Amino acid sequence: PSTLQEAAGMNDGRYFGTAVPAHLLNDSANMTIVNREFNMVTAENEMKIDALQPNQGQYSFGTADRIVNWARTNGKGVRGHTLAWHSQQPQWMRNMSGQQLRRAMLDHVTTVATHYRGQIHSWDVVNEAFADGSSGARRDSNLQRTGNDWIEAAFRAARAADPNAILCYNDYNIDDWNHAKTRAVYDMVRDFKARGVPIDCVGLQAHFNSGNPVPNNYHTTIENFAALGVDVQITELDIEGSGQSQAEQYKGVTQACLAVARCTGISVWGVRDNDSWRASGTPLLFDRNGNKKQAYHGVMEAL
């Protein structure tokens, strides 16, 4: 195999994806790499709540549709990101609370998932709902303050609107099995499965850096989530660093996913280093000129 998508596919049909921001759709150097190497696409910002519903009740699908249409035209799957989140909310939603906010959130989930029904491989239904640190608590947010059941309400609405999409809970810092946040998400997923709340997948964002390295027990974390009866997807992978050390970490993450049958795909959060949201770093698989880095070859060695 000579590309990430081809090599991933040879491992029981896994996918290899990337984030695409709308402003790079016209960058032919970038899109040539996307088309060649990847078979799953996530809109980097364009399907977030502020982008899709800038004013209450006025949906703005045009930019997101351009990304989805590019993906579908070129035979790529689409990860929908994200239906409900405390961040990147439009101002009108940030000001809301209580039952009014709950209704607005559910309206957003239903309208967006209906708009894209049948076109989305996996939805990040809820993003980043747990707190950092050792409490294992939910993150405080306007959505959380509408009641602890807001997450399951969002999942039920998403399932009703798009019954065939894989529905994911997505978060960061849930990679280390010995981390309270990881266990808290695990407990929620276990509870959802026990009570029939429609959840199909856990998304591990996987943003790593020197202060937050790839954990030695990553395989265990992935295995334990999968054992609950959900898929695991690595959804936003990037790893700060360079050279052989970065390559080995990328290889390790890829191996940890491949070791678990239900770890069905890996997406990196961008293509070239200079387009990364980590603007000053070099966390991706391609350098600023679009050349393959050692990190790329590390992934390919694992695949």
Please identify which of the residues 44, 46, 236, 240 carries the catalytic annotation: 236
Q: Minimum distance between the CB of residue 296 and ligand XIL, rounded to whole angstroms? A: 20
- For the stretch 44-58, what's the b/e string if a residue is b when 16 or more beta carbons lie within 10 angstroms of its beta carbon? bbbbbbbbbbeeeee
Binding mask 201-220 for ligand XIL (x = CB under 6 A): ----x---------------
Among 9, 22, 277, 301, binds ligand XIL (CB under 6 A): 277
Query: Residue 127, interface with ligand XIL (CB under 6 A)?
Result: yes
Binding mask 22-61 for ligand XIL (x = CB under 6 A): ----------------------xx----------------
Based on the residue annotation, tell me whether 248 is a catalytic residue of this protein.
no
Q: Minimum distance between the CB of residue 205 and ligand XIL, rounded to whole angstroms? A: 5
Which of 45, 212 has the CB closer to ligand XIL?
Answer: 45
Q: Minimum distance between the CB of residue 268 and ligand XIL, rounded to whole angstroms? A: 12
Show the 3-state SS of the chain.
CCCHHHHHHCCCCCEEEEEECHHHCCCHHHHHHHHHHCCEEEECCCCCHHHHCCECCECCCHHHHHHHHHHHHCCCEEEEEEEEECCCCCHHHHCCCHHHHHHHHHHHHHHHHHHCCCCCCEEEEEECCECCCCCCCECCCCCHHHCCCHHHHHHHHHHHHCCCCEEEEEECCCCCCCCHHHHHHHHHHHHHHHHCCCCCEEEECCEEECCECCCCCHHHHHHHHHHCCCEEEEEEEEECCCHHHHHHHHHHHHHHHHCCCCEEEEEECCCEHHHCCCCCCCCCCECCCCCECHHHHHHHHHC
Which of 194, 279 has the CB closer to ligand XIL?
Answer: 279
Binding mask 244-273 for ligand XIL (x = CB under 6 A): ------------------------------
Query: Residue 152, interface with ligand XIL (CB under 6 A)?
Result: no
Query: Residue 240, interface with ligand XIL (CB under 6 A)?
Result: no
Q: Minimum distance between the CB of residue 211 and ligand XIL, rounded to whole angstroms? A: 15
Which of 61, 277 has the CB closer to ligand XIL?
Answer: 277
CB-nearest residue to ligand XIL: 277
Contact set with ligand XIL (CB under 6 A): 44-45, 127, 205, 236, 277
Residues classed as catalytic: 236
